[in-house]
Amino acid sequence: MEMQNTDRAGMSDGNSENQSSSFPYTRKYIVIGGVALFLVASVVAFFLCRSHISNIRHEMLEEQRVIEQAWADTAVENARAWQAKTLEQIHNVSRAEVFRLFAFDLNNLGEESKKAVTTAKVASDPSHPLYSMWEELSYLRDLLQDTANHRGWASASIVGLRGEALIVPEKAFLMTPGRSALIAKAAAGRATVFSAAYQEADKLLMDIAAPLYEVLNEGEARMVGCLLVSLPFDGIGGELVSLSKLKDTDFRAGLLMRSEKGFALLQDAEGRLAIADEPVVLAESGQQTFTLPFMRRASLMGGGEVWSLAGRMRAPDWYALIEKPASLVEGRIAAAAREVYAIGILASLLFAFLLAFVGGGAVMRRRAQEGRKCISGLVHAIECALDGRDPKFRYLQGRSHRLELLANLLGRTMKLSNESMETMRLAARLSQVGKIFVPREVMTKKGVLTVEERRLVQLAPYHAFNVLKGVLPKRVATTIYQMGGKVVDDPDTGANHELTLKEMSLEARVLLVANDFCAMISQRGNRLPLPMADARQKLTERAIYDPAVVSVLNTISDEEIRRTLGDDVAVAQV
């Protein structure tokens, strides 16, 4: 056999001149073929990237809609709680028999007698028949004023259905056209009604009118007056839209309240709510309602285009408005698109050169070696693109290189085949590609991740598989997918199941041990590195790792691992 090999080697040397003369032509064809393959792969990658970017855009906008809807829903829930509390307080007063009976008695008097009581004309004559009613009125005024002070109301009065004063504070009572219209609305609908907010001096107020009924045991009661309450609105409005919680975000919040001219807009202005100078005019349907679904539109609070929505609060007829500048939302989408196109270009290069150089066959062994170097360079380019994605990803820099070194050490110790070693080498170098699709805020977060954030991280191997499965041998992409430890069955819902060791390839089991060991002995953003002894113990105790691979790792000394990884583990020896 050795002689045959020697003869073949001699023949090869004898024909070297002929082969070398054919190299320029072969090189020409390889270049032409590589360029053609690159163009074809680029076109395919472009359409795949466009489809993926469309999905990313949809996902990001849906995420934005969910966040804004959550703020709007919170505002609606706050409004309901505030409304229930306020109505309970209002109804406790409007249903009090002492006020209802007095209003009933006062309305049964003639106009002159009613005026004499309410204007205190009989106060100086104790013998007057109406003197006792004037005394009762004085008591009820004080009681109503104490109730308003105790509950934080700006004022409280009981007036007749035409707006005439019945039980009002001693200070001047102002019956404005707006209050008259509010009383008429409450009387017509026999229900408690709310006004829009309005400015009075330096205060922002709103009025509430609640009907008072005569005291009857049966039948429909007749209205004898209205309780008119004025509430300070600054604290109420701020709490409804949770403005204090929004100050540290890019969101803006406001309240839209129906008015005669359209919708009055209340928004935060230097720490307090203020009414916009101009009313907001919106298209309305015949039922006098409108919807503001999530979409891109001109800002109602000024400042250009926004992505916004509004949640309706029903009674009172208010809308919680949530906006975020469109430039910020579109900026995130554009950044994600650039990353996808960069991966697509690199993948096209890798695919084209892989086919061009590997397809040369036995005649081009030397060219195949050069091709592998080129592929290695392209893999390194992808790795650098990942490492340089963001300066905040410090702990990811060089991670794939450390994984490759340790996996190679384990593979040699286990005497794996060349095919397995090459599979692990490529999988290790490209193991972090899926992290590009994980949002920056999740990758750089310090502390415990939420369930949704953990789902995004778990999807990284799935994204890596989708990017690489058509570029590299499927075995490499599958190994990267399996070393994540979980299979995502439904990427839309995140449903997944933990892989068993039997379901994982040998290469994936080796890389899983090597990857987690490297992570444990390296410094992370939120913790110090573990000593090697502690890392080995954790691998031994957990059932997700192949005991055979962990056993091989434990036979390798700490010194040999340090020599293999070099300065990468110097910080771990504490």
pLDDT at 415: 93
pLDDT at residue 573, rounded to an integer? 39
Asked whether 497 and 489 are in contact (CB, 8 A), the reply is yes
Residue 356 buriedness (CB in 10 A; 0-12 / 13-18 / 19+): buried
Query: CA separation (Å) from 413 to 86, 271, 431?
Result: 75, 67, 22
Q: Give yes or no for residue 241 having a pLDDT over 70.
A: no
In the predicted model, is pLDDT for residue 542 greater than 50? yes
Give me the mean pLDDT over the 316-325 stretch. Answer: 80
Q: Please state the rounded mean pLDDT for residues 124-144.
A: 85
Binned at pLDDT 50, 70 and 90, residue 33 comes out as: low
CB atoms under 10 Å from CB of 285, counted, come to 8
Residues in the chain: 574
The answer to which of 64-68, 281-285, 318-322 has the lowest mean pLDDT is 281-285
Does the pLDDT at position 394 exceed 70?
no
Q: Find tokens 């055979």 and name the residue.
A: 548
Q: What is the pLDDT of residue 412?
A: 93
DSSP secondary structure letters along 218-282 = SSPPPEEEEEEEEEE-HHHHHHHTTHHHHTTSS-EEEEEEEETTEEEEEEEETTEEEE-SSPBP-
Q: Residue 66: what pLDDT?
A: 85
* CATH number assigned to the domain with residue range 397-574, chosen from the 4 options 3.30.70.20, 3.40.50.150, 1.10.3210.10, 3.40.50.300: 1.10.3210.10
Q: Can you tell me the distance from the alpha carbon of 28 to that of 394, in angstroms, rounded to the nearest whole number?
A: 42
pLDDT at 506: 92
The answer to which of 72-76, 110-114, 348-352 has the lowest mean pLDDT is 348-352
* Least confidently predicted of 118-122, 281-285, 413-417: 281-285
- Give 305 or 395, the one with higher predicted confidence: 305
Whether 547 shows a pLDDT value over 80: the answer reads yes
| Amino acid 392: pLDDT | 44
Return the closest-CA partner of residue 549 out of 558, 559, 560, 536: 536
pLDDT at 314: 67
Report in angstroms the alpha-carbon separations of 480 from 106, 169, 221, 398, 505.
86, 78, 77, 17, 10
Average pLDDT on 126-146 reads 86
Higher-confidence residue of 389 and 522: namely: 522
pLDDT reading at 8 higher than 50: no
What secondary structure letter does DSSP report for 523? -
CA-to-CA separations, 267 to 233, 277, 312, 503, in angstroms, rounded: 12, 11, 16, 57
Q: Which of 176, 198, 179, 181 is nearest to 276 (CA)?
A: 198
Residue 490: its pLDDT value, please? Answer: 55
pLDDT grade, residue 459 (50/70/90)?
A: confident
Cβ atoms of 553 and 539 closer than 8 Å:
yes
Whether the pLDDT of residue 20 is over 50: the answer is no
Residues 463-490: tens digit of each pLDDT: 778 777 766 778 888 888 888 766 665 5
* Cβ atoms within 10 Å, residue 137: 20
Under a CB-based contact definition with an 8 Å cutoff, are residues 442 and 460 in contact? Answer: no
What's the pLDDT tens digit per position in 329-340?
Answer: 888 888 888 877
Q: How many other C-beta atoms are found inside a 10 Å radius of the C-beta of residue 156?
A: 23
Q: What are the residue ranges spanned by the domains of the chain?
A: 40-322, 397-574
Who wins on pLDDT, 134 or 361?
Answer: 134
The answer to whether the CB of 258 falls within 8 A of the CB of 317 is yes
Q: Is the pLDDT of residue 574 over 50?
A: no
Q: Output the pLDDT for position 170.
A: 65
Note the pLDDT of residue 353.
65
Identify the pLDDT of residue 283. 56
pLDDT in tens, 279-311: 666 654 434 456 678 888 888 877 789 888 888
**Predicted pLDDT at 294:** 87
- Taking the CA atoms of residue 75, residue 78, residue 84 and residue 86 in that order, the dihedral angle to the nearest 10 degrees is -100
What amino acid is encoded at 400 in this protein?
A: S
Contact in structure between 489 and 506 (CB atoms under 8 Å): no
Least Cα distance to 332 among 437, 460, 465, 435 occurs for 437
What sign does the CA torsion over 458, 462, 468, 469 have?
Answer: positive
Q: pLDDT tens-digit profile of 432-448?
A: 777 777 777 777 777 77
Residue 464's nearest CA partner among 480, 487, 452 is 480
496 pairs with which residues across the strands? 488
Q: What are phi and psi of 319, to 5 degrees?
A: -135, 125
Highest mean pLDDT among 21-35, 359-373, 453-467: 453-467
Are the C-beta atoms of residues 357 and 372 closer than 8 Å to each other?
A: yes
Q: 270 or 157: which carries more pLDDT confidence?
A: 157
Average pLDDT for 451-458: 78
- Residue 509: band (very low, low, confident or very high) from pLDDT cuts 50, 70, 90: very high
**Two tokens at 261?**
């001219």
Task: Kindly tell me the burial class for residue 175, based on how many C-beta atoms sit within 10 Å of its own C-beta (0-12, 13-18, 19 or more).
Answer: middle
This prediction's pTM? 0.50
Q: What's at 30, amino acid-wise?
A: I
Average pLDDT over the chain, rounded to an integer: 75
Q: pLDDT band for 198, please (50, 70, 90 cuts).
A: confident
Pairing assessment for the beta strands 198-200 and 295-298 based on DSSP bridges:
unpaired
Rounded to a whole number, what is the distance in angstroms from the first to the last CA of the chain?
55
Q: DSSP per residue over 292-332, as a string?
A: --SEEEE-SSSSSEEEEEEEE--SS-EEEEEEEEHHHHHHH
Residue 21 has pLDDT above 50, yes or no: no
Tell which wins on pLDDT, 426 or 527: 426
Q: Dump the DSSP string for 454-488.
A: HHHHHTHHHHHHHHHTTTS-HHHHHHHHHTTSEEE
**Are the beta carbons of 459 and 493 closer than 8 angstroms?**
no
Q: For 159-172, what is each residue's pLDDT tens digit?
A: 888 888 888 876 65
Tokens in use for 149? 């002070």
Section 323-328 average pLDDT: 87
As a dihedral over the C-alpha atoms of residue 345, residue 349, residue 351, residue 354, rounded to 10 degrees, the angle is -160
Distance, in Å, from the CA atom of 202 to the CA atom of 207, rounded to the nearest integer, reads 16
Asked whether the predicted pLDDT for residue 211 surpasses 90, the reply is yes
